[in-house]
């Protein structure tokens, strides 16, 4: 992508109203633009990151055997009256009346709508277990939208819903979600810790939130330092094996880790040695729930079990804050100069800086690098503009592209370009061929 033809409205000034780094940097990097309080347009660079996150979420959901569908943002109020949540949900729910005087809500979540889909089509335990999910915009009329997309009113969520014939099977679905969420966050380059949480308006007996530690987080959390050592990336779990999933969950839920709503100071002190106790702030990037028959009973979602009895289906729901994750990743990955994207979620893996856009040789080498990277599925952001070199470097640093190739006539006399790493700061001088080899090694796939 040539920068001269792209739309990257970066700001040189720090926006006065943005209080936390991720909000400031997203505005400065031209990723988002506020439309109204807590409602944002996603500009081209921001959209690329959002799409990368969606892709990782889809891959991990499908690996766990979950099935994508797409439900609408607007839902009939009647379903919420059936479950009893129409009145309970309060002012956070945006209620709309259409021209036929039909009452609608802009979905803050989808337990009711999915239960309606389920009950119309599934009657027997033979069709279970089933987990359906989508990635769709939600609206919650938050009283204090703040920190940009971190606490938005309109936000993108992955929400999934499991349907099982009994409690045991539904608890396996809960565990499966926990494992798949751990994998999802790790794939994004994030450390997110599952912490025992309260179920709030979604309801149920089991709930964990996933928290990314950050000083600017809105949640107060308490945990055993040992949990920071755990990782999932080196294990491969069979998602159909309840035992294997339960073992992973046990490993992650044995060390103390709780949000302030479930924190117990006495247990905290008795379970963990003084030196391992941690209290910190965190950003909630996901939450999972098991709520049994809370929706299936009032909404009449029953199935026939193996004994021929009609039983209400057991359910849970599981959410990832996809748009919030963009902010959380920036909170965990930035410096004074700007964002430092983890490679799997970067909007572009490579930035090319042309130091002499009037020089034919320099242009040819930059074009060739762009073409070859694109052929490997790694389309670069190519700064072919006539801006000052210093300003070009500042923009690449600000928008956080992991690798930068700098090409100028002086180096090209010796056949050399400069390759630098945003995170590590190291720079090497090499040939264009070597840069391509390093960036595309082990990945000959055209995407």
Residues in contact with ligand P5A by CB under 6 A are 109, 140, 142, 151-152, 155, 157, 159, 202, 284-287, 289, 317-319, 321, 323-324
Give the residue with the Cβ less far from ligand P5A, 195 or 401: 195
CB of 411 to ligand P5A, least distance (A): 45
- CA 398/CA 34 separation, integer angstroms: 19
Give the residue with the Cβ less far from ligand P5A, 24 or 294: 294
Give the residue with the Cβ less far from ligand P5A, 137 or 268: 137
Q: Which residue is at the shortest CB distance from ligand P5A?
A: 321
Give the residue with the Cβ less far from ligand P5A, 204 or 351: 204
CB of 41 to ligand P5A, least distance (A): 16
CB of 12 to ligand P5A, least distance (A): 28
Give the residue with the Cβ less far from ligand P5A, 172 or 404: 172
CB of 324 to ligand P5A, least distance (A): 4
Give the residue with the Cβ less far from ligand P5A, 57 or 381: 57
Q: Are 188 and 345 in contact (CB under 8 A)?
A: yes
Give the residue with the Cβ less far from ligand P5A, 153 or 392: 153
Give the residue with the Cβ less far from ligand P5A, 25 or 439: 25
CB of 242 to ligand P5A, least distance (A): 22
Burial label for 359, CB within 10 Å (0-12, 13-18, 19+), is middle
CB of 444 to ligand P5A, least distance (A): 37
> In the numeric block, which tokens belong to residue 220?
């107060």
* CA torsion angle 390 393 399 405 (round to 10): 160
Please state, as a whole number, how many other Cβ atoms lie within 10 Å of the Cβ of residue 415.
11
CB of 441 to ligand P5A, least distance (A): 35
CB of 73 to ligand P5A, least distance (A): 14
- CA 177/CA 183 separation, integer angstroms: 10
Give the residue with the Cβ less far from ligand P5A, 8 or 117: 117
Give the residue with the Cβ less far from ligand P5A, 85 or 334: 85
Task: Give the angle subtended at the CA of 232 by the CAs of 227 and 236, to the nearest 5°.
Answer: 150
CB of 44 to ligand P5A, least distance (A): 21
Q: Residue by residue, what is the 3-state secondary structure of the chain?
A: CEHHHCCCCCCCCCCCCCCCHHHHHHHHCCCEEEEECCEEEECHHHHHHHHHHHHHHHHHHHHCCCEECCCCCEEEHHHHHHHCHHHHCHHHCEEEECCCCCEEEECCCCHHHHHHHHHHHCCEHHHCCEEEEEEEEEECCCCCCECCCCECCEEEEEEEEEEECCHHHHHHHHHHHHHHHHHHHHHCCCCCEEEECCCHHHCCCEEEEEEEECCCCCEEEEEEHHHHHCCCCCCCCCCCCHHHHHHHHHHHHCCCEEECCCCCHHHHHHHCCHHHEEEEEEEEEEEEEEEECCCCCCCCCEEECCCCCEEECEEEEEEEEHHHHHHHHHHHCEECCEECCCHHHCCCCEEEEECCCCCHHHHHHHHHHHHHHHHCCCCCEEECCCCCHHHHHHHHHHHCCCEEEEECHHHHCCCCEEEEECCCCCEEEECHHHHHHHHHCCCCCCC
CB of 154 to ligand P5A, least distance (A): 8
CB of 173 to ligand P5A, least distance (A): 13
Give the residue with the Cβ less far from ligand P5A, 138 or 404: 138
CB of 334 to ligand P5A, least distance (A): 19
Give the residue with the Cβ less far from ligand P5A, 114 or 407: 114
């Amino acid at each position: 992508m040539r920068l001269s033809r792209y739309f990257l409205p970066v700001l040189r000034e720090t926006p006065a109203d943005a209080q936390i780094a991720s909000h400031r940097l997203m505005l400065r990097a031209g990723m988002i633009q506020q439309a109204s309080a807590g409602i944002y347009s996603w500009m081209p660079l921001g959209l690329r990151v959002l799409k990368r996150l969606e892709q990782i979420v889809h891959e991990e959901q499908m690996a766990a055997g979950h099935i994508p569908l797409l439900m609408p943002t607007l839902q009939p109020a009647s379903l919420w009256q059936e479950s009893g949540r129409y009145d309970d949900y309060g002012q956070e729910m945006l209620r709309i009346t259409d021209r036929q005087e039909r009452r609608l809500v802009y979905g803050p979540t989808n337990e009711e709508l999915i239960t309606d889909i389920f009950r119309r089509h599934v009657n027997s335990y033979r069709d279970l277990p089933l987990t359906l999910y989508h990635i769709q915009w939600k609206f919650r009329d938050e009283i204090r939208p703040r920190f940009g997309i971190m606490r938005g009113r309109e936000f993108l969520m992955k929400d999934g819903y499991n349907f099982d014939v009994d409690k045991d099977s539904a608890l396996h679905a809960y565990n499966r979600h926990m494992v798949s969420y751990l994998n999802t966050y790790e794939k994004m380059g994030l450390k997110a810790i599952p912490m025992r949480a309260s179920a709030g308006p979604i309801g149920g007996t089991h709930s964990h939130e996933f928290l990314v530690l950050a000083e600017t987080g809105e949640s107060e959390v308490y945990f055993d330092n040992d949990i920071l050592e755990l990782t999932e990336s080196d294990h491969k779990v069979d998602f159909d094996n309840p035992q294997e999933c339960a073992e992973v969950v046990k490993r992650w839920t044995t060390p103390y880790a709780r949000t302030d709503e479930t924190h117990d100071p006495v247990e905290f002190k008795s379970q963990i040695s003084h030196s391992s106790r941690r209290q910190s702030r965190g950003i909630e990037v996901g939450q999972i729930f098991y709520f049994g028959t809370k929706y299936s009973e009032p909404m009449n979602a029953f199935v026939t079990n193996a004994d021929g009895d009609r039983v209400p289906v057991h359910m849970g729901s599981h959410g990832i804050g996809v748009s919030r994750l963009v902010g959380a990743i920036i909170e965990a990955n930035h410096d004074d100069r700007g964002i430092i994207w983890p490679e799997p979620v970067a909007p572009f893996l490579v930035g090319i800086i042309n130091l002499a856009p009037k020089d034919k040789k320099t242009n040819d080498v930059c074009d060739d690098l762009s073409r070859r990277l694109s052929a490997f599925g790694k389309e670069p952001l190519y700064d072919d503009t006539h801006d000052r070199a210093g300003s070009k470097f500042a923009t690449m640093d600000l928008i956080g592209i992991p690798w930068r190739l700098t090409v100028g006539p002086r180096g090209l006399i010796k056949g050399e370009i400069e390759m630098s790493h945003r995170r590590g700061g190291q720079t090497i001088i090499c040939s264009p061929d070597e840069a391509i080899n390093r960036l595309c090694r082990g990945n000959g796939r055209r995407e």
